[in-house]
Amino acid sequence: MSTMLEVSGLNHRYGAGEKAHVAVNDLSFTVEAGQLASIVGPSGCGKSTLLRCIAGLIKPTSGRVSLHGDDVSGVPEDLAVVFQDYSRSLFPWLSVAKNVEFPLRWRNLSRSERRTRAQEALESVGLAGVGSKFPWQLSGGMQQRVSIARALASKPALLLMDEPFASVDAQTRFELEDLTRRVQRENGSTVLVVTHDIDESVYLSDRVLVLSKSPATIVADLPVGLPAERNQITTRESAEFVTLRGEVARLLHGGAPEAVTAASDAAEYELAQQDAAADAATKAHTKS
Ligand SMILES: Nc1ncnc2c1ncn2[C@@H]1O[C@H](COP(=O)(O)OP(=O)(O)OP(=O)(O)O)[C@@H](O)[C@H]1O
Ligand SMILES: [Mg+2]
């Protein structure tokens, strides 16, 4: 496997002097081509900052980001980002098809090629019939599918997703997780997803990078050995899934895996909350 993304000694500081805030501190990791990696970390720890540095949207204070061997300076052509807030990332005055085609305008593609690509991308996210509608005529989950289609249409070497399913309901979230896994496998894409959700980080990925609280450093890099074919109900019930999510939760709450502390009690509480939400979503899923 070749290395798609290499982040080495990355630091990012906002501001200067006494008011400076170090958001990312000496982060190094690589993502292999065709891998789906998740990044999970506490709120405010620097996840979005890291993604913005990788996407070339901000220049890191120091350190290096390279995409298939080329240093990133400015937004690379073969990289796409899906942001959390779909309502602000789609143009309301453009049809769905035109939104998906939009970034292709800067590619050397004919009009008909752009149309075909957009159509294929919409089909791959299950939205073949909605190209002529406007984003505001779609549900939140559908709008987020449009954002995913727009990212896929450019056939990116690396797809970055920043909490892509945080604004949708639990059932839609399950569907979008499965969609992400399916298109990632079909296209052999390399994907880096930031999420707050411990279960999602395990369910979605081949690997989970756990970040510390601010400034972000890597506290663990856990391989996910679950079978490639996953199922929202049976995978989440499997012993390996339950063990991994427990490990991620304990790491996030600052305790060693074997240490039974207040932190792990908090993790248990969070897991119980997530169980209740997942049960509710599963019931809704089974009914529909
Ligand atoms: N443009 C900015 N100027 C100054 N400080 C910023 C800026 N953007 C982010 N920060 C600060 O940097 C830190 C990391 O922010 P960042 O958005 O990367 O965190 P995050 O891990 O993505 O958080 P969340 O999980 O809530 O999305 C925070 O303390 C934040 O206040
Ligand atoms: Mg963020």
Return averaged pLDDT per consecutive 10 residues of the chain, 288 residues in all: 92 90 93 96 92 94 93 87 85 95 87 92 90 94 91 90 88 90 90 94 96 90 95 96 96 58 41 54 59
Q: What is the DSSP letter of 267?
A: H
Looking at residue 102, what is its pLDDT? 92
**Burial of 99: CB neighbours in 10 Å, binned 0-12, 13-18, 19+:** buried
Give the ligand whose atoms come closest to the C-alpha of residue 162: 2
Q: Record the pTM.
A: 0.85
Provide the 3-class DSSP secondary structure of residue 268: helix
- 54: CA distance to ligand 1 center in Å? 15
Q: Which residues contact 268 (CB under 8 A, 6 or more apart)?
A: 249
C-alpha span between 162 and 172 (Å, rounded): 17
Domain 3-78+156-229 has CATH 3.40.50.300: yes
Q: Which residues contact 267 (CB under 8 A, 6 or more apart)?
A: 246, 249, 250, 252, 253, 255
Q: Is 45 in the pocket of ligand 1 (CB under 6 A)?
A: yes
Q: Is 47 in the pocket of ligand 1 (CB under 6 A)?
A: yes
Q: Is 48 in the pocket of ligand 1 (CB under 6 A)?
A: yes
Domain boundaries along the sequence of the chain: 3-78+156-229
